[in-house]
Amino acid sequence: MLQFTDLVIKFGFFEAYILDAMDSYDEPVRKGTPKGERIGFPKHKYYCSLMVALTDKKLKTIAEENKETHGISYGLLRKWNSEEDFKALVQDHRVLFFSKYISLIESVQKESQINYCQYLDDPDCLAPQHGKISEKDFYLTGVNPTILGLLEVYAGQLLIGFSEASEKNDTLSDNDFLEFVVGNLIIRHINLARGQPDRIADALSLVFAVDGLNRVNEMVQSSGMAAKNKKLTDSAIAMAVNLLKEQLDTIREDLKNRLKTT
């Protein structure tokens, strides 16, 4: 089996993650396990949990794709998806995917030699350069909307951090710029995955929109929408986008002027 970075280069992060997860999974065996004790998921059930967790496919589609090879019916997959241990595994997959994606895209960008002035001259220079890993390897097409939502919140937090640093300091550190670049890249990939490449295509438009995001966060907290897991919901993210879009014209002009003097 190839190393994970080699898989990313060959297949892209999304497919590489699934291949690596399946290769790393040790299917449990009944032999030696006390009677009545659960032995974990067979490999085909584990694979279905990955599909449910990470892809934007409907349960019916996943079942149809696995019917001939593994005998998975729609009814069986629905049953699995109602089981607590299956649902917990789905959640674990999403958290691990999110964490690994962030970790790799940050490490790739950190090792690049791009600086802030280069970005101002050429915004396209943000494409990660790490051996043969390129920006296309981080595409999120087909990724589950829940994961896209988590990534969007994370990117927003990075851009807020950059905004606050730029307001407090005369100069920006390498870490400040790293936050800005990673936030920008994630937003770009999310928009492409949603089929909306022009929707706030330039993350510069987000940088000084702290008030808008904070207002959305306050609405979420006060309405109890985030009471269970303290994460913004898709509807809250949609509200954030709408608030930000209303501010785009003034933000963009103000931002261009401020960046030139940073």
* Domain residue ranges of the chain, discontinuous segments joined by +: 4-92, 95-260
Phi, psi of 2 (to 5 degrees): -65, 155
pLDDT of residue 38: 63
> Which pTM was predicted?
0.70
Supply the mean pLDDT for the chain.
74
Tokens 């829940």 correspond to what residue? 146
253 is written with which tokens? Answer: 């002009």
Q: Which of 97-111, 175-189, 227-241 has the lowest mean pLDDT?
A: 227-241
Residue 256 has pLDDT above 60, yes or no: no
pLDDT for 89 beyond 90: yes
Of residues 189, 195, 210, 191, the one with CA closest to residue 126: 189
Per-residue pLDDT at 199 exceeds 60? no
Residue-wise over 159-183: b if at least 16 C-beta within 10 A, else e?
A: bbbbbebbeeeeebeeebbbbbbbb
